[in-house]
Amino acid sequence: MSMTIPLHNSLQGSLHGSLHSLGIGIGTRNSGNELIEVFYPLVLRSPALALTQTLANMAGYSQGNNFYELSALQLTRLAQLPEIANDSSLQDLLRSLSNSTQPVLVTFIEEDLPPASIPEVYLKLHLLSHRLCKPHTLNLTGAFGVLRNLAWTNQGAIDLDDLPARQLHARLKGELLEVMSVDKFPKMTNYVVPKGVRIAHTARVRLGAYVGEGTTVMHEGFINFNAGTEGPAMIEGRISAGVMIGAGSDLGGGCSTMGTLSGGGTEIISVGRDCLIGANSGLGFPLGDRCIIEAGLYVTAGTKVLLLDKDNQVVGTVKARELAGKTDLLFRRNSITGTVECKANKTAIALNAELHTHN
């Protein structure tokens, strides 16, 4: 629930415990005065109690997961408080926000529950992209249903019901309202640009992606929300929702990882450290460290795999899921029989350090 607390009630809040996270953001409303998205210039994980109490007092917050709209007068008053004055960057932010023509929100998350509001979802997505929380450490159950499908334009997020009128208004002024995408998730870089990364095509990395320092995402690379890389990494393929890529790994052009959203699956797919997923190949089970999947080979959890010894003799047959998390493996397809084979991999890949230093 959203509310604006009158100034004369601004000291009635009393915090009942520590917070999981906190954000101060700028929201966008549609023509029906409903919030449709939130940008958070301030995102805090486990915020200091003194700051939390100050904001709780001003907003009238006491407990739970909730968000409140702050007036310009409240923001000005906050910036003047002694406990805020000691933090010049926060004080400057509050002063800037007091001039906002858009709604300014403070969002409190006391407990990591399934998000129930748009501000709560956006705060959690910011936490991931700011690297304050790793994928699978936040409860995002039902987040997709909470978010609105929006037009993402050169004038920001627009409700689809408002889009025709906005397009007409732009044309009447001799302008073009460009619609870059229609989706529930915006691109990450319109909200967060993490330190030390290269992203060739920013539309292919969604808000809520965790992009580790030293990661390069090439033009065909894609990173979904609640997924990402430890970094450094070379990403020329697809990282689906829920998938985490270990440091030093390389996803070749056109390759794919099977996310937990595919077919309603629940198993967490991951790629270990120093792995190579070859061009146009794919993965459907957790891969251990220093493993290789050859180009063009898609290995799902149920793929029958022949196990080879050092002399390339078959010593057994297993389903790929039985090799989950095991290290130093090479998966290949026999070019004569077409069978999928696995043998010990004695060569680990090494990423070019110069390509993954993005200062």
- In contact, 191 and 126? CB cutoff 8 Å: yes
Q: Which residues contact 62 (CB under 8 A, 6 or more apart)?
A: 13, 14, 15, 16, 56
Triad 47, 48, 54: Cα angle to 5°: 100
Q: Identify the DSSP state of 19.
A: -
Q: Report the C-alpha dihedral over residues 233, 239, 242, 245, rounded to 10 degrees.
A: -20
Q: Is 83 an annotated catalytic residue?
A: no
Q: Respond yes or no on whether the N-terminal peptide bond of residue 194 is cis (omega within 30° of 0).
A: no
Q: Estimate the crossing angle of helix 49-59 against helix 72-80, to 10 degrees.
A: 150
Q: In which residue are the tokens 């030390």 written?
A: 196
In sequence order, the β-bridge partners of residue 316 are 307
C-alpha 210/C-alpha 231 separation (Å) is: 10
User: Distance of alpha carbon 91 from its chain centroid, rounded?
Assistant: 28
213, 236, 294, 341: which one is catalytic? 236
- Active site amino acids: 236
